[in-house]
Structure 1
Amino acid sequence: MEIIVAHTAGFCFGVNRAVDSVYKNIGQQPLYTYGPIIHNPQVVGELREKNVIPVNSLDEVEEGTIIIRSHGVSKDVYDTINRKGLTYIDSTCPYVKRIHKIVDEYSKKGYQVMIVGDREHPEVQGISGWSNGETIIVEKTEDLEGLNLSKTKPICLVSQTTYREDRFESILKALKDHQYEVEGFNTICKATSDRQQEAVKIAKMVDKMIVIGGRDSSNTKKLYEICKKFCKETYHIETLEDLELNKFNSNDKIGITAGASTPARIIKEVITAMNDLENHGNESFEELLNQSFVTLRSGQIVKGTVIHVTDSEVSVNLGYKSDGIISKSEISNDSSLSPKDVVKLGDEIDVYVLRVNDSEGIVELSKKRVDAQKGWETVKKAYEEGTILTGKVVEVVNGGVIAISHEVRVFIPASLLGSKYNKDLNQLIGKDIEFKVSKIDAKRKRVVGDHKQIYMEEFKKKKEEIFNSLEVGQKVEGTVRNITNFGAFIDLGGIDGLIHISQMSWKKIQHPEEVLKVGQEVEATVLKIDKDKEKISLTLKDEKSNPWFKIEEKYPVGSIVKGKVVRMVPFGAFVELEPGVDGLVHISQIANKHVVKPEDELKLGEVIDVKVLEINKDEKKISLSKKQAEVQQAEVQPEETNVSEE
């Protein structure tokens, strides 16, 4: 006969904690448990003999101490206990407590609460009592049919800790397939899941299977159902007395498992009885159980497997009697990241043990501390070798920004960011930035980064590339970066070129803003390049649009043209022939008489006929005469008149 005993058989952490709490407080009389402390009549009977009385209603209790069992209770039970002035010891399983918090939080947010589990089970009833609205309880996918679920309100889906994981997952999938917005929390206790998986494994290997546990125990019933699928000869017993030994023989391969409410002594009795059948040696249940657990202490770095991820925390299987929890604040130093951005189900990760609280079944973990320790070595190496690191800017602080690189906080002063970031540091939030480590304080774990070095190196390289690619007369495109009284600076892609005010238009302007605006895209021509002084002069003037282009053809000497008086000077008047082309009518050429002042004969803005006397294209000068134009027109007029009379 071969006997295989499940490592996961017997009391789970929560049940063991609840039973211990009763035994530790037996001296406090009267002592009550709210409902049976566990689903095992033998344990409940033993405690009753020690005057520990289970009650199903607080109406039965007027004084004494109430022990709340591992299944937990609804919120109103706590209110009643406090109102009646009773003392209570809360032995609710930490995993159940977590479900209470989830339901309370999400129902307050307006979520519809749905529980996957046995609606008659006290744990499910307790969970339901933490919702601020109506609770929906489903046991299988088919229960979803006919439910009047709102698609305008999201669903918070949780599970009874001892329920079948396959049912929870199928219900979650069905809801998502029907386009419901669901926040699913797989709150099935890892111990339950492990117990069921191990039971399946053993049931497939053996001829006969024994499942030990109370008749009313939900998780024991599920174990029996699961084992029965894979091993037809599966027996559910509460104690050794229920076991019909004559059904077993020496050639049998026998598997043994037990529910979470089954005491170790009952399991041992069954194992001993089976061993006695064949005098077959076997390891004790305690030995098998202890072999399956690792030991943990605060400060350790251990490996674990991610078994559940939400937006607020990550559950990690450590091979310990309870799973570890990484809160969002311990995932990363970058608070903008969700746990779902960092890890996924099945990931094997290193974690730092912050705290082990066996009394509450809590193992608090940190991922960022392990990552920061590794990251610190990366940062130190970068400092020693002068290599470039990349970090994400997460915060603007006094005098600079904080970037996270390899989970290490790096301070980058504004003075070391480079000129393009000096105006508004907030534009950097959420962006990646390269830097070199300029200073490191190993004792205080402080790091100062320098982006300016990289910026200046890139700027120098860009400048060389641009200077090497430019030629006088070349057309270039750029953006107006800054405007001054004397001109505009154009960003050519990392280096500035200057358009002087005199090179903006062929006509005279008073200020560059008459032609250009900051941010405007422009096309200019390279006028001059000075590599030694690193200066580039640009012009917007185009020779074809130069009003003096082919000036002799437009205004031939001797021709009479019209112009507008635009400026008076003591020696004459300037007349605009077209924008950008002015000619001088000397005072002696204004009239056929002596003129003391040009204003005596002309008015600003007046349009007059003038004769072109001389053109100096190089000096952009044109000599004009009003009086000669008048004389010539007077000579022509009579001839035209005589012709008309004839």
Structure 2
Amino acid sequence: MEIIVANTAGFCFGVNRAVDSVYKNIQQQPLYTYGPIIHNPQVVEELREKNVIPVHSVDEVNEGTIIIRSHGVAKDVYGAIEEKGLNYIDSTCPYVKRIHKIVDEHSKKGYQVVIVGDRNHPEVQGISGWSNGEAIIIEKPEELEGLNIPKTKPICLVSQTTYREDRFESVLKALKEHHYEVEGFNTICKATSDRQQEAVKISKMVDKMIVIGGRESSNTRKLYEICKNYCKETYHIETIKDLELNKFNSNDKIGITAGASTPARIIKEVITAMNDLENHTNENFEELLNQSFVTLRSGQVVKGTVINVTDSEVSVNLGYKSDGIISKSELSNDSSLNPRDVVKVGDEIEVYIVRVNDSEGIVELSKKRVDAQKGWEIIKKAHEEGTVLTGKVVEAANGGVIAVSNEVRVFIPASLMGSKYTQDLTQFLGKTIEFKVIKIDPKRKRVVGDHKQIYLEETKRKKEEVLNTLQVGQKVKGTVRNITNFGAFIDLGGIDGLVHISQISWNKIQSPEEVLKVGQEVEAIVLDIDKEKEKVSLTLKNEENNPWFKIEEKYPVGAIVKGKVVRMVSFGAFVELEPGVDGLVHISQIANKHVAKPEDELKLGEIIDVKVLDVNKDEKKISLSKKQTEANVSEE
């Protein structure tokens, strides 16, 4: 006979913690448990004999202490206990506590809470009590068809810790297929998942399977269902008394597992009975259980596998009795990163043990501390060799910026951020920049970087590159970087070109700002290049935008056109035909009579008809007549 005992069989961490809390406080009489402390009638009866009484309502208790079991309770139960002035010991499993927190927070945010689990299970009823009484409980995806959840309301999906993982995943998939906005939290306890997976593995290997645990235990019943799928001869027993030994023989290969509420002594009794059946020796179950766990202590660096990732934390399996948690702040020094962008389920990562709290089932981890230790070696080498590093600017500090490079925080003074001192350092936030390490202090973990060196070297390289490609007469595109009273500087992508005010427009302007603004994209023509002085002269004036271009075609001699009187002189009036094109109406051409002053017949801003008498493109002169338009009218 060969016997295979599951390493994951028996008390889980949460149950063990709850039972221990009863025995540690057994002297505090009267002592009550809110519901049976575990789904094991033998343990419950043993405790009852020690005057530890299970109750199902706070109304049943008038004095003494209540122990809240690992299943947890609804929020209002705590209020009822405090209202009666009773003492209580909270032995809620940390994994269940986490679900309470998720449900409470999301309910307040307006989410519809959906719980995947057994609606009659006390853990599920307790979870529901943290959702303001509005939670929906479903056991399988088919039940979604009858639900009337508005598509506009987001869903928070959680699971009973001891439920089947395939059920949770199928419900999550169904919700997404129905186009619900759903945030799913796989809150199935890792111990439960491991227990079920090991049960599948063993039940496939054996001839007969024994599942030990209370008849009322949800996780034990699920173990039985799982094993029965792969091993037809699967037996569910509570104690050795339920085991029919005559159904086993010496040639059998037998598998043994147990639910989370099954004490080690009951499992041991079954193993001993099976050994006695064949006089077969088998390792003590408790030794097997203890060997399956690693030992952790604060300050260790260990490897683990990522098993869950949310927007705020990462869960890591370390082979320990509790999974480790990396909070977002301990994942990276770059707080803008989403944990989902850093790691994914299945990744094997190195982590630093920040704190181990077995009483609360908490293992706090840090990834950034491990990465920073490796990063320091990179920083020191870069300092010694003068190599260039890259970092993301995450903070605008007093007098400089903080960039994160290989999880090491690097301070770069404002004076070393560019060619000149920059006051507005927020413009660099979120940008990845290059720098050289100019100073390190390993004891204080301080690093000072210099971006200016890189900036100047890059600027020089770009200048040379642009200067070597520019040619006089070439059309170039650029952005207005700065405006002065004498012109504007255009960024050509490595060097600035100057457009003198006289080269900005064909029209006469008093200030460059009449035409240009900082940040505006323009097309210019190269007028001159001085490579030694690294100067480029530009013009925005070209034939296409020259108002005198093809002027004879626009204003042929003899044509009558409209214009605006813009200036008076003693010998006549200047009339604007279009911006940049003025013509002169000589005083003798203003009217069919003697005119002493142009002001006698014309007013500034007046729109008049004029006849084109002559066009001189080279001298940019046009002669006009107003009186001849009047003569034409009288002739007609």
Question: Which category describes the TM-score, using the shorter chain as reference length?
Answer: 0.7 to 0.9
Match of 2:328? 328
Residues paired across the two proteins, number? 589
- In 2: Cα distance, 1:348 partner to 1:605 partner: 95
- In 2: Cα distance, 1:284 partner to 1:191 partner: 20
Of 502-511 and 40-49, deviating more is 502-511
Tell me the SS of whatever aligns to 1:145.
Answer: helix
In the alignment, structure 1 residue 53 sits paired with structure 2 residue 50: no
In the alignment, structure 1 residue 378 sits paired with structure 2 residue 378: yes
Of 353-362 and 428-437, deviating more is 428-437
Q: Any idea what the Cα deviations from partners look like across 1:311-341, whole Å, max 9, x if unmatched?
A: 1211111100111111122121121222212
Match of 1:455? 455
Structure 1 residues 567 and 453 mapped into 2: Cα distance closer, same or farther (>3 Å)? farther
In the alignment, is the contact (CA less than 8 A) between 1:565 and 1:604 conserved in 2?
no
In the alignment, structure 1 residue 128 sits paired with structure 2 residue 96: no
1:160-171 aligned within 5 A: 160-171=160-171
Structure 1 residues 230 and 497 mapped into 2: Cα distance closer, same or farther (>3 Å)? same
Of 391-400 and 128-137, deviating more is 391-400
- In 2: Cα distance, 1:318 partner to 1:436 partner: 38
Tell me the SS of whatever aligns to 2:384.
Answer: helix
Match of 1:229? 229
- In 2: Cα distance, 1:621 partner to 1:240 partner: 116
- In 2: Cα distance, 1:565 partner to 1:48 partner: 109
**Residue identity in the other structure for 1:282:** N
Match of 1:318? 318
Structure 1 residues 147 and 378 mapped into 2: Cα distance closer, same or farther (>3 Å)? same
- The alpha-carbon deviation at position 187 of structure 1 amounts to 0.9
Tell me the SS of whatever aligns to 2:146.
Answer: coil
In the alignment, is the contact (CA less than 8 A) between 2:352 and 2:369 conserved in 1?
yes
In the alignment, is the contact (CA less than 8 A) between 2:81 and 2:88 conserved in 1?
yes
Match of 2:607? none
Of 493-502 and 102-111, deviating more is 493-502
- In 2: Cα distance, 1:149 partner to 1:577 partner: 74
- In 2: Cα distance, 1:476 partner to 1:453 partner: 28
**Residue identity in the other structure for 1:272:** T
Of 512-521 and 431-440, deviating more is 512-521
- The alpha-carbon deviation at position 468 of structure 1 amounts to 1.8
RMSD of the alignment, in Å? 3.3
- The alpha-carbon deviation at position 497 of structure 1 amounts to 1.8
Match of 1:406? 406
In the alignment, is the contact (CA less than 8 A) between 2:116 and 2:138 conserved in 1?
yes
- The alpha-carbon deviation at position 434 of structure 1 amounts to 2.1
Give percent identity, aligned residues only: 81
**Residue identity in the other structure for 1:367:** K
Q: Any idea what the Cα deviations from partners look like across 1:103-123, whole Å, max 9, x if unmatched?
A: 111111111111111111111
Structure 1 residues 576 and 182 mapped into 2: Cα distance closer, same or farther (>3 Å)? closer
Structure 1 residues 536 and 361 mapped into 2: Cα distance closer, same or farther (>3 Å)? same
Q: Any idea what the Cα deviations from partners look like across 1:428-456, whole Å, max 9, x if unmatched?
A: 22222222222222121122222222221
- The alpha-carbon deviation at position 165 of structure 1 amounts to 0.8
**Residue identity in the other structure for 1:525:** I
Match of 1:493? 493
Of 338-347 and 539-548, deviating more is 539-548
In the alignment, is the contact (CA less than 8 A) between 2:400 and 2:425 conserved in 1?
yes
Structure 1 residues 474 and 205 mapped into 2: Cα distance closer, same or farther (>3 Å)? closer
- The alpha-carbon deviation at position 10 of structure 1 amounts to 0.8
Match of 1:95? 95
Structure 1 residues 508 and 175 mapped into 2: Cα distance closer, same or farther (>3 Å)? closer
In the alignment, is the contact (CA less than 8 A) between 1:113 and 1:131 conserved in 2?
yes
Of 529-538 and 315-324, deviating more is 529-538
Match of 1:271? 271
- In 2: Cα distance, 1:549 partner to 1:232 partner: 99
Tell me the SS of whatever aligns to 2:150.
Answer: coil
- The alpha-carbon deviation at position 566 of structure 1 amounts to 7.7
Match of 1:342? 342
- In 1: Cα distance, 2:503 partner to 2:276 partner: 109
Structure 1 residues 327 and 509 mapped into 2: Cα distance closer, same or farther (>3 Å)? closer
In the alignment, is the contact (CA less than 8 A) between 1:565 and 1:574 conserved in 2?
no
Structure 1 residues 549 and 55 mapped into 2: Cα distance closer, same or farther (>3 Å)? closer
**Residue identity in the other structure for 1:195:** R
- What TM-score comes out, normalization by structure 1 length? 0.84
Match of 1:283? 283
In the alignment, is the contact (CA less than 8 A) between 1:508 and 1:580 conserved in 2?
no
Tell me the SS of whatever aligns to 1:241.
Answer: helix
- The alpha-carbon deviation at position 477 of structure 1 amounts to 3.2
- In 1: Cα distance, 2:342 partner to 2:273 partner: 51
**Residue identity in the other structure for 1:18:** A
Q: Any idea what the Cα deviations from partners look like across 1:531-573, whole Å, max 9, x if unmatched?
A: 222222233455896979999xx9xxxxxxxxx99899xxx99
1:166-245 aligned within 5 A: 166-245=166-245
Match of 2:624? none
In the alignment, is the contact (CA less than 8 A) between 1:565 and 1:603 conserved in 2?
no
Structure 1 residues 603 and 548 mapped into 2: Cα distance closer, same or farther (>3 Å)? farther
Structure 1 residues 495 and 211 mapped into 2: Cα distance closer, same or farther (>3 Å)? same
Structure 1 residues 19 and 418 mapped into 2: Cα distance closer, same or farther (>3 Å)? same
**Residue identity in the other structure for 1:422:** T
- In 1: Cα distance, 2:551 partner to 2:153 partner: 78
Q: Any idea what the Cα deviations from partners look like across 1:361-386, whole Å, max 9, x if unmatched?
A: 11111111112222222222222222
1:451-490 aligned within 5 A: 451-490=451-490
Structure 1 residues 248 and 508 mapped into 2: Cα distance closer, same or farther (>3 Å)? closer
- In 2: Cα distance, 1:362 partner to 1:139 partner: 29
- The alpha-carbon deviation at position 32 of structure 1 amounts to 1.1
Of 383-392 and 337-346, deviating more is 383-392
**Residue identity in the other structure for 2:400:** G
- The alpha-carbon deviation at position 149 of structure 1 amounts to 1.6
Of 84-93 and 375-384, deviating more is 375-384
1:513-592 aligned within 5 A: 513-541=513-541
**Residue identity in the other structure for 2:261:** S
Extract unaligned runs of 5+ from structure 1: 555-563, 592-600, 623-646
**Residue identity in the other structure for 1:486:** F
Q: Any idea what the Cα deviations from partners look like across 1:249-277, whole Å, max 9, x if unmatched?
A: 11111111111111111111111111111
Structure 1 residues 237 and 533 mapped into 2: Cα distance closer, same or farther (>3 Å)? same
Tell me the SS of whatever aligns to 2:97.
Answer: helix
In the alignment, is the contact (CA less than 8 A) between 1:477 and 1:523 conserved in 2?
yes
In the alignment, structure 1 residue 26 sits paired with structure 2 residue 26: yes
- In 2: Cα distance, 1:577 partner to 1:225 partner: 100
- The alpha-carbon deviation at position 211 of structure 1 amounts to 0.8
- The alpha-carbon deviation at position 530 of structure 1 amounts to 2.1
Q: Any idea what the Cα deviations from partners look like across 1:478-528, whole Å, max 9, x if unmatched?
A: 333222222222222221122223444566544334454444444433333
In the alignment, is the contact (CA less than 8 A) between 2:214 and 2:237 conserved in 1?
yes
- In 2: Cα distance, 1:512 partner to 1:148 partner: 65
Match of 1:595? none
1:621-636 aligned within 5 A: none
Match of 1:104? 104
Match of 1:294? 294
Structure 1 residues 495 and 293 mapped into 2: Cα distance closer, same or farther (>3 Å)? same
In the alignment, is the contact (CA less than 8 A) between 2:326 and 2:364 conserved in 1?
yes
In the alignment, is the contact (CA less than 8 A) between 2:310 and 2:339 conserved in 1?
yes
- In 1: Cα distance, 2:110 partner to 2:567 partner: 77
- The alpha-carbon deviation at position 476 of structure 1 amounts to 3.2
Structure 1 residues 343 and 520 mapped into 2: Cα distance closer, same or farther (>3 Å)? closer
In the alignment, structure 1 residue 258 sits paired with structure 2 residue 255: no
- In 2: Cα distance, 1:547 partner to 1:270 partner: 107
- In 2: Cα distance, 1:96 partner to 1:546 partner: 80
- The alpha-carbon deviation at position 98 of structure 1 amounts to 0.9
In the alignment, is the contact (CA less than 8 A) between 2:215 and 2:221 conserved in 1?
yes
